[in-house]
């Protein structure tokens, strides 16, 4: 883990900071052609191509009849998991649902003299949720990506996951997923975007995945809507001398163990705290089962920045625009007004990001790679579409017709102007 002193320097030109700020540029060109080929094959050959790629990349030999996991299997998975895990997932589901219900939007109308204007808010009809599978288990991803869609009123939620285990399937049961398909990778994204003989076409695809999944979503945006181009996980912590160094070390490691490309960053004006955190990381890291992954992550992106003060720490944080931001200071709420760019902000020593991943309620599908500058967390609003409604009576037309005609003429759009003029002359 690299330590960089930003004090008394033109910090924006610091090489390590520039390197971190460009971490979102991981979608390597070397993968793009392969993903494009997979997507085109699934578009042209449907189930046949989907089955071939599923066997080739995931080692799963399926037939059109076994692509979909029967609902009975999903129900069996729910019944088979440990009672304490089931209880934890159900409580998490309740908390996530309760939070997202606050995000619901309503249709509205505004009446003027002779004019009625409005907005109609409706849910998407069918969405696809991508959940990584295989050796990993991500029931929390199932809950976080499907519950907002359910709250929005989406009629059909289609989940894809290669070799999902019992916990993933149990979460699908709890969240009310409509259908589950045993597929993954770019081929699964393409199947959802275009539809095949077996997999239904969806309106939007959400959920995290590897670089193939991310590139497929990017490539297919426009054919289908997507949530965001998600990259590896990341955490940034702003802390002062009052913080617990061991707790900070573990929080940094909790993201480093996710992925070799994950980022873990500490910003602090305290040299003493920085050194304590470093020593705690060195002590705890070798004890982690995912030591190899975490150590590679820390070597690549792990950084401790020594800042002049907490205000400079906020400026640096805004430049990095992290997915998760923890503020562990004497008065974290006083820091918040200076933060502009972060996917989620965790305030105080006990607000560890791990709680946010599972049970607090706000969504853990967050913008990565600096995209918190313009993306928001996944929410109910991502599964709603808005339609403008416009009614104009003759009386209302008389108020605005001539104005529209003048603007149309100024733009040189003769037919636009004529469409108003013939009504005025009537």
Q: What is the pLDDT of residues 133-146, one digit of tens each?
A: 866 689 999 999 99
In a domain? residue 418 = yes
The per-residue pLDDT for 135 is: 64
Statement to judge: residues 159 and 254 lie in one domain? no
Average pLDDT, stretch 72-89? Answer: 97
Instruction: Please tell me the distance from the alpha carbon of residue 388 to that of residue 119, in angstroms, as a whole number.
Output: 5
Q: Express as a percent the part of the chain with pLDDT over 90.
A: 86
Among 41, 93, 234, 323, which one carries the catalytic annotation? 323
Statement to judge: residues 99 and 215 lie in one domain? yes
In a domain? residue 272 = yes
Rounded to two decimals, the pTM is: 0.91
Statement to judge: residues 89 and 60 lie in one domain? yes
Residue 271 has pLDDT above 70, yes or no: yes
The per-residue pLDDT for 261 is: 87
Statement to judge: residues 35 and 94 lie in one domain? yes
In a domain? residue 366 = no
Expressed as residue numbers, the domain containing 20 is 2-25+231-361
Average pLDDT, stretch 142-168? Answer: 97
Residue 323 among the catalytic residues: yes
pLDDT (tens digit, 9 = 90+) per residue, 360-381?
Answer: 999 999 999 899 999 999 999 9
Among 100, 234, 257, 324, which one carries the catalytic annotation? 324
In a domain? residue 369 = no
Statement to judge: residues 306 and 415 lie in one domain? no
pLDDT, the chain, mean: 94
In a domain? residue 316 = yes
Q: What backbone torsions phi and psi does residue 111 show, to the nearest 5 degrees? A: -105, 130
Q: Which of 361, 380, 413 is a domain's end point?
A: 361
Instruction: Please tell me the distance from the alpha carbon of residue 88 to that of residue 48, in angstroms, as a whole number.
Output: 40
The per-residue pLDDT for 11 is: 82
Statement to judge: residues 147 and 211 lie in one domain? yes
Residue 73 has pLDDT above 90, yes or no: yes
Statement to judge: residues 47 and 181 lie in one domain? yes
Helix (H) or strand (E) holding 425: helix 414-425
The per-residue pLDDT for 94 is: 97
Q: Which of 311, 341, 361 is a domain's end point?
A: 361
Statement to judge: residues 210 and 246 lie in one domain? no
Q: What backbone torsions phi and psi does residue 386 show, to the nearest 5 degrees? A: -115, 135
Statement to judge: residues 351 and 244 lie in one domain? yes
The pLDDT confidence band at residue 248, using thresholds 50, 70 and 90, is very high
The per-residue pLDDT for 141 is: 95
The per-residue pLDDT for 25 is: 64
In a domain? residue 374 = no
Residue 405 has pLDDT above 90, yes or no: yes
Statement to judge: residues 41 and 184 lie in one domain? yes
Tally of structural domains, the chain: 3
The per-residue pLDDT for 235 is: 96
Statement to judge: residues 168 and 64 lie in one domain? yes
The per-residue pLDDT for 29 is: 65
Residue 112 among the catalytic residues: no
Average pLDDT, stretch 276-289? Answer: 96
* C-alpha triplet 347, 352, 355: angle, nearest 5°: 115
Instruction: Please tell me the distance from the alpha carbon of residue 169 to that of residue 166, in angstroms, as a whole number.
Output: 5
Statement to judge: residues 146 and 184 lie in one domain? yes
- Cα Rg of the chain (Å, integer): 25
- Here the CATH number for the domain that contains residue 193 is 3.40.50.1980
**With 0-12 CB in 10 A as exposed, 13-18 as middle and 19+ as buried, what is 112?**
exposed
Residue 315 has pLDDT above 60, yes or no: yes
In a domain? residue 204 = yes
In a domain? residue 41 = yes
The per-residue pLDDT for 17 is: 87
pLDDT (tens digit, 9 = 90+) per residue, 1-43?
Answer: 888 888 877 887 788 888 887 776 654 667 888 999 999 999 9
């Amino acid at each position: 883990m690299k330590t960089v002193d930003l004090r008394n320097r033109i910090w924006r030109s610091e090489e390590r900071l520039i390197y971190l700020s460009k971490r979102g540029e991981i979608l390597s060109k070397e993968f793009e052609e392969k993903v494009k080929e997979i997507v085109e094959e699934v578009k042209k050959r449907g189930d046949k191509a989907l089955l071939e790629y599923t066997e080739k990349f995931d080692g799963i030999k399926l037939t059109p009849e076994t692509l979909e996991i029967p609902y009975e299997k999903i129900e069996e998975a729910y019944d088979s998991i440990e009672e304490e895990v089931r209880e934890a997932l159900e409580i998490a589901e309740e908390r996530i649902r309760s939070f997202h219900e606050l995000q619901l939007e309503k249709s509205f109308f505004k009446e003027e003299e002779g004019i009625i204007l409005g907005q109609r808010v409706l849910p998407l009809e069918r969405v696809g949720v991508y959940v990584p599978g295989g050796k990993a288990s991500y029931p929390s991803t199932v809950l976080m990506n499907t519950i907002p869609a359910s709250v929005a009123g989406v009629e059909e939620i289609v989940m894809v996951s290669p070799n999902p285990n019992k916990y993933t399937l149990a979460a699908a049961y709890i969240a009310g997923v409509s259908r589950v398909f045993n597929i993954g990778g770019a081929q699964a994204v393409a199947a959802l975007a275009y539809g095949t003989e077996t997999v239904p076409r969806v309106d939007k695809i959400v959920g995290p995945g590897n670089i193939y999944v991310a590139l497929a979503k990017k490539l297919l945006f426009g054919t289908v809507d997507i949530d965001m181009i998600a990259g590896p996980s990341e955490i940034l912590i702003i802390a002062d001398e009052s913080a617990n160094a061991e707790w900070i070390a573990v929080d940094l490691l909790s993201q480093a163990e996710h992925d070799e490309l994950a980022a873990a960053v500490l910003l602090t004006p305290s040299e003493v705290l920085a050194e304590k955190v470093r020593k705690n990381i060195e002590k705890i890291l070798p004890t982690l089962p995912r030591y190899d992954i975490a150590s590679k992550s820390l070597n690549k992106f792990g950084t401790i920045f020594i800042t002049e003060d907490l205000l400079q720490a906020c400026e640096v944080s805004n430049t990095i625009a992290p997915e998760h931001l923890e503020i562990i200071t004497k008065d974290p709420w006083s820091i918040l007004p200076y933060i502009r760019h972060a996917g989620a902000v965790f305030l105080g020593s006990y607000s560890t990001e791990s709680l946010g991943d599972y049970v607090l309620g706000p969504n853990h599908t967050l913008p990565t790679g600096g995209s918190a500058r313009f993306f928001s967390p996944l929410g109910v609003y991502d599964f709603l579409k808005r339609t403008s409604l416009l009614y104009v009576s003759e009386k209302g037309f008389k108020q605005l017709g001539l104005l529209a005609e003048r603007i149309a003429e100024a733009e040189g759009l003769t037919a636009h102007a004529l469409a108003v003029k013939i009504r005025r002359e009537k």
